[in-house]
Structure 1
Amino acid sequence: MKSVDVVIPNYNYGRYLRGCIDSIRSQPVEELRILVIDNASTDESVAIARELAKTDPRIELLLRAENRGAHASFNDGIDWARSDYFLILCSDDYLAPGALPRALALMETHPDVHLTHGKTLFLAETAFPSGQIAAPPSSAAWAKQDGMAFVETVCRSGRNFISGPTVIVRTAIQKKVGHYKPTLTHTDDLEMWLRFGLHGSVAQTQTIQAVARVHSVNQSASVRTLKQWSIEFEAAFRSFFESDGANLANADILFRHARHALNERAYWSAIAQFCRGEPGARDLLRHAINLRPSTAFLPPFSYLMRRTETSALIGSSMRRLGNRLRTSVLSARSSH
């Protein structure tokens, strides 16, 4: 079995840290190193990390005197890594049993695959106090995709469909790809996956590879609106195509696909919000039109046509829109 390095960024997640580490060191991997990077936690994190490191030589500690943020931890972890394979696992998540050997077996068999990812089980904090889940199968079915096809798929979707806690990569390729970008607060991982697509294939499994705890202080919880998320995603795509992806022959086309995908989602979400009388609909619609100005005159109906619930969605939206317009007309008449 090849060697694996796992980096655990941590800040005030002492209540999760032991379970996270246990989920890693229980993986049947012969050569394993774990680096806990603590960003000046004020809870019991450091004491727990030191206790575990004393009893397990595979655990190393980087204990900061000040909080330098998640990106510094990610990038210091990349610099520290030297094993064959590499994983960043935040301390409020944990690996499913057998996750590492499943991914390593695939990458050992397919040398062109440099990034693997799987399914994440999202559970509320109180739903799994023991920090354990039933063991998935020892083997898994994998779908492999050529790197450039992967990049196009991501751009056409305008989404990040890769779950970070499940991502296991080849360390040598991670070194080539480089560091995470601190300017991308919430979508640095999406931009990173796109860079990996330039270097080789990507493989995905529907087997659960990790568990993510859902709680009020998740980093993603700080992004409150669809407009905010859309801006974050657009920034990741723009960053990629202005740097590593700039020399692709079809870079302009791919970036346009990404912006169109973001536009479609924002546009129809704005229409739905307007029909429900929710605040922020006009602001979201302006953002959608900024992504794709032509939709100010011609709505992106192709998005609806691709959805399985199209008929119900159109019918419901049109009824609500009709009711809103009818109410507006009656209100205007009564005012004269």
Structure 2
Amino acid sequence: MSPSAAQGGRVDVCSDAEQRIRNAWDFPAKGGRAAMTSFDVAIPNYNYGRYLHDCVASVASQDVDALRILIIDNASTDDSARIAREIADADPRVELRLHPRNLGPHSSFNEAVDWAASDCFLILCSDDLLSPGALRRAGEVLAQDPTLAFCYGRDVGFLRDQPVPQLATGLERARWHRLSGQDFIERFCRLGVFQIPGPTLVTRTSAHKETGHYREELLHSDDYELWLRLALLGDVAVLDNVQGMIGNHADNRSGTLRARQVLHIRQTEAAAESFFSREGVALAGVRNLRRLARRGFAARAYWAALGAWSRGDPGGWSLMRYALGKAPEMAVLPPFDYLLKRPDARARLAQSLAAVVRRTSPRCD
């Protein structure tokens, strides 16, 4: 169903899952709908059939009229295909791409980019959820200023085997501030990372099309690299609203990767290198940015090492070796400047100091 057809009159189909989402969130069934903005939401899926109903319902219940939803199933071996067909049969806004063989996650992401045709675009993993009013707020913000390439907001986590937490209604207005594309790139370099909750990132489709595909060689950091390329095309709107909910469960891929912090830092470094050696090579001050990123990755590893030691995790040694390999001076002068720029600076400092105290205190055993 095209965006223009959806504007002509939404078919108001409310599945059982959608009704559960509305009930849990006290979501308004009608009213306050965003005008003149169309949305495409792609939902890649692999063996998460048990989550599909709630995920799609969180999108279908958004207070927007012009909406298309695409479920891309990557040859799941569970009952995902059957569930996806049931969802599509009940809602004409839902389209299906059911692959006969597994083409890998990048193929699904890039297929979604090629499919997108509306004003705004979002890729939503099938184990995550949108918050009430998320698309309307994102659309209102992006519609205000054509120089904004994308927006993102806050998220909350929840356990997938627990009931969906109750949030405020979706009627709240967007609260946001601007971050220039240059500032976004510099902050990424300074911190060695820039965490954007995946289910909250909504791009201007034209910007995403110009940016292009996710790069398959970046197995776990393709999203970071794409954000940097998007920031070359415009500014970023940062919403102070809960825009998405991240489902935590045993099969969560990003959670598993973050448990191996050195690998995650190296993957993020690879994203920066890919960006700076291609599209970012013409940036003003690119050499300084690369040096800033090198120190950012080292400082991130340094404090992660102290955090690991505070938990009794021997993985802290590999993190510290990485940090000192990048910035040997940190063996003498800890990178306090890095820590103080993080939003969680106070908690990390307390954690790290506790680790130092434990390691230097005399043992009584």
Could you tell me the TM-score, scaled by structure 1's length? Answer: 0.89
Deviations 1:170-194 (A, max 9, x none): 1111110000111222221111111
**1:73 and 2:111 are equivalent in the alignment:** no
Matching of residues 270-289 of structure 1 within 5 Å: 270-271=305-306, 273=308, 278-289=313-324
Measure the CA separation in 2 of the matches of 1:89 and 1:276.
Answer: 33
Match of 1:236 in 2: 271
**Structure 1 pair 18/257, CA: closer, same or farther in 2 (3 Å)?**
same
Quick one: which of 287, 291, 296 aligns to 1:256? 291
Give the paired residue count. 326
**1:31 and 2:66 are equivalent in the alignment:** yes
Deviations 1:258-313 (A, max 9, x none): 22122112123334545776423332221112222333454434345664368756
Offset at 1:72? 0.5
Contact 1:276-1:320 within 8 A present in 2 as well: no
Offset at 1:144? 1.0
**1:176 and 2:176 are equivalent in the alignment:** no
Measure the CA separation in 1 of the matches of 2:196 and 2:317.
Answer: 31
User: 2:218 corresponds to which letter in structure 1?
Assistant: L
Contact 2:298-2:327 within 8 A present in 1 as well: yes
Measure the CA separation in 2 of the matches of 1:14 and 1:40.
Answer: 11
Offset at 1:25? 1.5
Measure the CA separation in 1 of the matches of 2:349 and 2:318.
Answer: 26
User: 1:197 corresponds to which letter in structure 2?
Assistant: A
Deviations 1:61-84 (A, max 9, x none): 111011111110000010111111
Measure the CA separation in 2 of the matches of 1:238 and 1:260.
Answer: 14
Deviations 1:31-83 (A, max 9, x none): 21111100011212111111221232211111101111111000001011111
Could you tell me the TM-score, scaled by structure 2's length? Answer: 0.82
Measure the CA separation in 2 of the matches of 1:209 and 1:277.
Answer: 35
**Structure 1 pair 287/56, CA: closer, same or farther in 2 (3 Å)?**
same
Measure the CA separation in 1 of the matches of 2:86 and 2:347.
Answer: 53
Offset at 1:315? 5.2
Match of 2:226 in 1: 192
**Structure 1 pair 46/193, CA: closer, same or farther in 2 (3 Å)?**
same
SS at match of 2:161: helix
**Structure 1 pair 277/166, CA: closer, same or farther in 2 (3 Å)?**
closer
Matching of residues 103-122 of structure 1 within 5 Å: 103-122=138-157
Deviations 1:105-141 (A, max 9, x none): 1111111111010111110113325x86442443121
**1:48 and 2:83 are equivalent in the alignment:** yes
**Structure 1 pair 275/127, CA: closer, same or farther in 2 (3 Å)?**
closer
**Structure 1 pair 50/269, CA: closer, same or farther in 2 (3 Å)?**
closer
Contact 2:310-2:354 within 8 A present in 1 as well: no
Matching of residues 187-336 of structure 1 within 5 Å: 187-223=221-257, 224-271=259-306, 273=308, 278-296=313-331, 298-303=333-338, 307-308=345-346, 312=350, 316-323=354-361
**Structure 1 pair 111/273, CA: closer, same or farther in 2 (3 Å)?**
closer
Contact 2:190-2:292 within 8 A present in 1 as well: yes
**Structure 1 pair 309/91, CA: closer, same or farther in 2 (3 Å)?**
closer
User: 1:159 corresponds to which letter in structure 2?
Assistant: V
Contact 1:136-1:207 within 8 A present in 2 as well: no
* Percent of residue pairs identical: 43
SS at match of 1:2: strand
Measure the CA separation in 2 of the matches of 1:121 and 1:305.
Answer: 24
Measure the CA separation in 1 of the matches of 2:49 and 2:70.
Answer: 15
Give 4+ residue runs of structure 1 displaced > 4 Å after superposition. Answer: 271-277, 309-315
SS at match of 1:67: coil
Contact 2:44-2:125 within 8 A present in 1 as well: yes
Quick one: which of 99, 107, 113 aligns to 2:134? 99
Measure the CA separation in 1 of the matches of 2:132 and 2:151.
Answer: 16
Measure the CA separation in 2 of the matches of 1:321 and 1:294.
Answer: 21
Contact 1:13-1:92 within 8 A present in 2 as well: yes
Quick one: which of 149, 153, 164 aligns to 2:183? 149
**Structure 1 pair 3/297, CA: closer, same or farther in 2 (3 Å)?**
same
User: 2:324 corresponds to which letter in structure 1?
Assistant: I
Contact 2:191-2:338 within 8 A present in 1 as well: no
User: 2:61 corresponds to which letter in structure 1?
Assistant: S
In structure 2, runs of 5+ residues without a counterpart are 1-35
User: 1:321 corresponds to which letter in structure 2?
Assistant: R
Quick one: which of 136, 160, 176 aligns to 2:194? 160
SS at match of 1:126: coil
Match of 2:48 in 1: 13
